[in-house]
Amino acid sequence: MDIQSVKQRFDIVGNSAGLNRALDIACQVAPTDLSVLITGESGTGKESFPKVIHAYSARKHGQYIAVNCGAIPEGTIDSELFGHEKGSFTGAHETRKGYFEVADGGTIFLDEVAELPIATQARLLRVLESGEFIKVGSSKVQKTNVRIIAATNVDLSQLIQNGRFREDLYYRLNTIPIQIPPLRERKDDIYLLFRKFASDFAEKYQMPVISLDAEARQLLESFYWPGNVRQLKNVTEQLSIIENERVVNAETLQRYLPDVSMQKLPALYTGTGKNDDGTFASERDILYKILFDMRNDMNDLKRIVHELTATSHINGKSAQYMGVDQPPYSGGVRGTKIVSPISIDPVDGNQSHITDTEEFVEESLSLQDQETELIRKALAKHNGKRKLAAEELGISERTLYRKIKEYNIK
C-alpha cells in the first residue's frame, strides 16, 4: 500500500523520515495478528496508528475499541475490560459485557497501558497468552479473539525496574515496537501542520485563514514543542480565534509560547542595568551578578592565600600571618585555609618541618546575605542615591526600594 494514500485517508500530515518509518511498519504489520506497542511522547499522535493497523488488517470489519487506561478508576478497570456478573460488587445491578467480549474478532487499543494496576496486568497477560478471561464475580472461563495494540508515553523498562509493570507482559505487548518521533525532530513538518490546522479552524469558525510572517515561521520551527502536535494545534486555534490580524508576526506568536524563554540559555549580566530594549533587567540578573562576583572573590582569595603561603615568615609557636591586611569583606566569612608548612627556630634560625595547621571557617552561601552586601556597596558608592544604585545593580528603583525594606538595610 502507498504511504501517501494512508496519510490522506487518516489525515496524517508530515514527510519526516521518522514519521514515514513508523507508518511503514504499521502498514507492514497490519495484515498479521501480532501485538504492537506504540511509544512516543504525549501529543505526538499515537492514537492514529492503531486505526491504520486495524483498517488494513483482516479484522477491519470487526469492532475497534480505544480504551484510555489512565482515565478509568482502578476499582472499575477490570469490570470495564472483562465485564462483571450481577451482584459481584456494590452497584452491579446487572450482568455487563467487557471490552474484550464486545470486541471479539476485532481490535482493542489500550492507550496509557502503563497506568494499568498490577492485578489487571496479570489478567491482560492471560488474554494475550491464551485468549481467556474471567468476568468479575464469575468462575467461568471465556474465550476471546482480540488483537491488542498498546501505547505509552513513559519508559516501561524503568517501570519494570521499579516493580510497577510486569516484564512478561512487556515482552508480550512489544512484539512489534513502533516509535513515534517528537515534533522537535520533525522540523520540516511543523509549518505544514500549522497550515493544516489554520485551514481547519478557518473553516470551522468561518473566518480568514491565519498565516505567519518569515520571523514568526522561524520562531515556530525553532520552538521546542514539549506538547508536540497537540500543543501546536492548540496554539494555532488560539491565534485563529483571538488575533484580529491575519498575518502573525514573531512578537505576537511569542506571547502564545510561554515556555520559549526556558529553551534558551540565560543572558549574562552586562553591567549596564538595562536590557537591549531599554527596560531594566530582571531580579534573576542580579542573582547571576552575585554568583559571578562570588566566583571572582573566591579566585582572588585563592591567589592571596597562595602568595601568603609562599612568602610569609612565621615566628613563634603559633602559625599566624604577620603584617598582612586581609581584603575587607562584610558579607559573611569566606572559607579560608591557613597552613604553616615551616617552623623557624627563634634561637638559631634553622627551619624544621612541623605538622600543617588547618583552620576552616564556613562561608555564608545565603543569596540574601550576598544580595544585601551588594546593595549596601552600591548605595555607599552612590552616596545613598537609589536611582544610581539601582542602575548599577541592574534592577529597577522600585525593586531596590522593596529589597531595602525587606532586608532592613539602613
> CA-CA distance, 373 to 354, in Å (whole number)?
39
* Residues 38 and 81 grouped into a single domain: yes
Residue 328 in this model has a pLDDT that exceeds 50: no
Give me the mean pLDDT over the 374-382 stretch: 86
Residue 88 in this model has a pLDDT that exceeds 60: yes
* Residues 126 and 162 grouped into a single domain: yes
Domain boundary among 166, 181, 196: 181
Residue 334 in this model has a pLDDT that exceeds 80: no
Give me the mean pLDDT over the 357-377 stretch: 67
Q: What is the pLDDT of residues 183-234, one digit of tens each?
A: 999 999 999 999 999 999 999 999 999 999 999 999 999 999 999 999 999 9
For 356-377, letters b (16+ CB in 10 Å) and e give: eeeeeeeeeeeeeebbbbbbbb
Amino acid of residue 71: A
Residue 132 in this model has a pLDDT that exceeds 50: yes
With DSSP H G I counted as helix, E B as strand and the rest as coil, what are the percentages for the chain, rounded to 5?
45, 10, 45
* Residues 97 and 23 grouped into a single domain: yes
* Residue 315: per-residue pLDDT: 44
* Residues 259 and 273 grouped into a single domain: no
Give me the mean pLDDT over the 116-141 stretch: 95
* Residues 160 and 57 grouped into a single domain: yes
* Residue 213: per-residue pLDDT: 96
Q: Which residues contact 372 (CB under 8 A, 6 or more apart)?
A: 331, 407, 409
For 34, 63, 111, 217, the CA distances from 19, given in Å and listed in that order, are 21, 27, 19, 21
Structural element, H or E, at residue 179: strand 176-179
Q: What is the DSSP letter of 247?
A: E
* Residues 369 and 258 grouped into a single domain: no
Parallel, antiparallel, or unpaired: how do β-strands 141-143 and 132-134 relate?
A: antiparallel
Domain boundary among 263, 286, 301: 263
Half-sphere exposure of 156 toward its Cβ, with a 13 Å CA cutoff? 24
Q: What is the pLDDT of residues 222-232, one digit of tens each?
A: 999 999 999 99
> CA-CA distance, 165 to 68, in Å (whole number)?
17
367 and 287 Cβ atoms separated by less than 8 Å = yes
* Residues 210 and 299 grouped into a single domain: no
Q: State the pLDDT confidence band at 2, using cuts at 50, 70 and 90.
A: confident
Here the CATH number for the domain that contains residue 220 is: 1.10.8.60
> CA-CA distance, 285 to 22, in Å (whole number)?
45
* Residues 117 and 196 grouped into a single domain: no
In terms of Cα–Cα distance, which of 110, 120, 129 is closest to 79?
A: 120
Q: What is the pLDDT of residues 343-355, one digit of tens each?
A: 444 444 454 444 4
Q: Is 223 helix (H, G, I), strand (E, B) or coil?
A: coil
Q: What is the pLDDT of residues 277-314, one digit of tens each?
A: 444 444 555 665 676 667 777 777 777 776 676 655 44
Q: pTM (2 decimals)?
A: 0.63
Q: Which residues contact 69 (CB under 8 A, 6 or more apart)?
A: 77, 110, 111, 112, 113, 114, 115, 116
Considering only residues 14 and 367, tell me which one the structure prediction assigns the higher pLDDT: 14
> CA-CA distance, 261 to 166, in Å (whole number)?
40
* Residues 232 and 319 grouped into a single domain: no
Q: Which residues contact 157 (CB under 8 A, 6 or more apart)?
A: 170
* Residues 31 and 166 grouped into a single domain: yes
Domain boundary among 181, 201, 225: 181
> CA-CA distance, 140 to 157, in Å (whole number)?
34
* Residues 73 and 17 grouped into a single domain: yes
**C-alpha cell at position 290:** 552575585
32-36, 154-158, 254-258: segment of lowest average pLDDT: 254-258
Here the CATH number for the domain that contains residue 119 is: 3.40.50.300
* Residues 254 and 279 grouped into a single domain: no
Q: What percent of the chain has pLDDT over 70?
A: 77
115 and 73 Cβ atoms separated by less than 8 Å = no
Residue 356 in this model has a pLDDT that exceeds 60: no
For 169-187, letters b (16+ CB in 10 Å) and e give: bbebbeebebebbbbbebe
Domain that holds residue 176: 3-181
Half-sphere exposure of 95 toward its Cβ, with a 13 Å CA cutoff? 7
Give me the mean pLDDT over the 262-283 stretch: 44
> What is the number of domains present in the chain?
3
